A and B are shown apart, each in its own frame.
Chain A
């Protein structure tokens, strides 16, 4: 006997797009069902943002202690080097994930969202079957919000399994590898590679393009490159991965010069991007038009099929949790009869590398130099311990403004702890701020944010601390 559920809104996927959409639907009084086959929270909470930031945090603590064991650091000296128990770190990470996972469930309950655990498969655009532990559930709905997210891209010649792992496994290692090869120097690969390096793993990074973090300009990634250099991470740029060698113990690559090279590795972490999860749940039954590998949506996140909506990684770049959440909230309001569209001026992007990178709005590569003012303020010029630390690797804040009216088009920063500045940058751009607005806002001393103020002053020709 299969159970039949009739509902107004059916959300597929319990990640930061889907669960936020469901909660908002519930708040708006819509009868809502959410289907998730895994634990609630999606990639972000279970095997992405949250666990990786936990591991990165632990790695940072370990590194600081290790440094204090080698030589006194801030006058702190450890008599014996610290010892890392990776299983302990992973179980602490799991406890963080568990707590947040429980939180999501509680929020959904409070919003009166019904959660069905199982894998949904659509038979047409408004009906699906879910195989649950208690048997099959049929769900018939007026609206569908597709939020299936994305999965790591696999290389055909380097399939996941054995020593070849994706970011998910890298966050749940039961023992540290001695040598790790990272394929792809995007933000996921570098965040994890750097964290594992801090834990003492020998890390080698292979990238096909000519620089690390190829989506950013060279100046912005330079401090990260310098950190890798100083900490003994080997970089192979403009190199092609061929696969594991015959022994299976080394990664074979073809270097810039065309020479073949075998990189011995206990683990090979493949982070060459992510792709939308479009298979296995009956998308083909829904008559939804595609946009390349993504589901095509308009500015309201409406697909080509009436009352079928799609959000998050499924609908395109940037594949970021906060974009998915914003779209989820919006779609819920549209279904509830409000007039909305997805119209952000900027979506902040953050790399939790060492040091961190933030980019909001237009970057150097997006603007014509003659029409813009580019102002760079180094953290080192700011006299505070934390910002000096942020400036250790040559960190800075960069403001890009339109020359003729001083409208702020983009802001970037690189340095320790700068991720927390992303909110002010995004807010400035969303509000349509001009340089004078930032210059005229008193920034608290002593904080990192002063560098944004100073960069704006500098753009206007009168920085104080430089």
Chain B
């Protein structure tokens, strides 16, 4: 059984296709593992007793965990919100339909920050997910459940969504691979909308090859999403082993940015690994990237305030009782149904779009977006990739940042610029570092961004780098207090040899 869970999704797929692995036995092993969820990572499991069922005729792909933002016919879909408690959509999102058609059974729906707004999973209406590396810490967000199930061996792989870093940041904090594809690579149909010009579905996996396999299944144009175009030529499994001839651009102001010393050490060690593989490190200038957070926290809330207008207690979801007139019913339903962060973003977005402020905020933010995209275009004239840490810190403690919204938003500092530019970016685990406040070492993510629709090149390079880093993908088993340290170079200031 343990051996079944040790396989990557790709290895399992190849074994199933070769007839060496029983799909039923494999799926059962994972269902049993998922049933042992002690991280609050699943909001719904397929083998539960609530009647929802997702059948796959001939499973040949590893079962998958799906962020609870993807509408799935007949299956509870809450987007982590009280306002959608008990909602069972009448249709299935294109991403989930593609998985089912490929032969991947759905293991369950994963916990998340409410409407994907958050970087710690503490904004879920259903209690936060715990980080499998240290249960006193957050898994990141908003796809925290999807990251935790992969890192905690409760699912072989998962899908999530990324609006400003919501796949990459939790992947980094949980020590797995997370890919935000180019905007338009995967259909958004049936994916509950947060900020429509930024939202993108993507894989959370143990390694880069699994991410490639999953992206290949998910990508493609869809008549139901007029902004989806797919990836021309599809995706093949990466097998590159070196980085010769490739140029990696480091933002020239990175030394001025505020991030943990341990993260910095791992980042610098990874630069050395790139050079050892024949890659070249260069400096690039992204002068507007530092304004990414400001632009993002205007654009995303503005779009959210419009998208979330649909939750009004009329067509689906909860309705507050006892309201006098219809306006009062709207106001009371939304007051009871939404959590604090969602209310904050609706207020921020409504303010930014209101008469007299529109140009100063929304108009200006859209112009910053143009400049950030132009910065990347210029950079990609000189380098193949732009590289940064994924997150300024390793996983932080539960409750540590909940009182300071702005401090929480700064978690997205390195990931937001790529979202605004619409370009693909991947986070791979690059090593371990000690948290600033002390404690056992935790995973550090390394972000690689590429030009729009250059996913193949991105995956090829990430695969080569991942092989050289040799991060232990045999992640912390659910139930074990800490992961094995074997084979991982200790960084950070710790080194006091606990064990």
Same complex origin of A and B: no
Interface residues of B (CB under 8 A from A): none
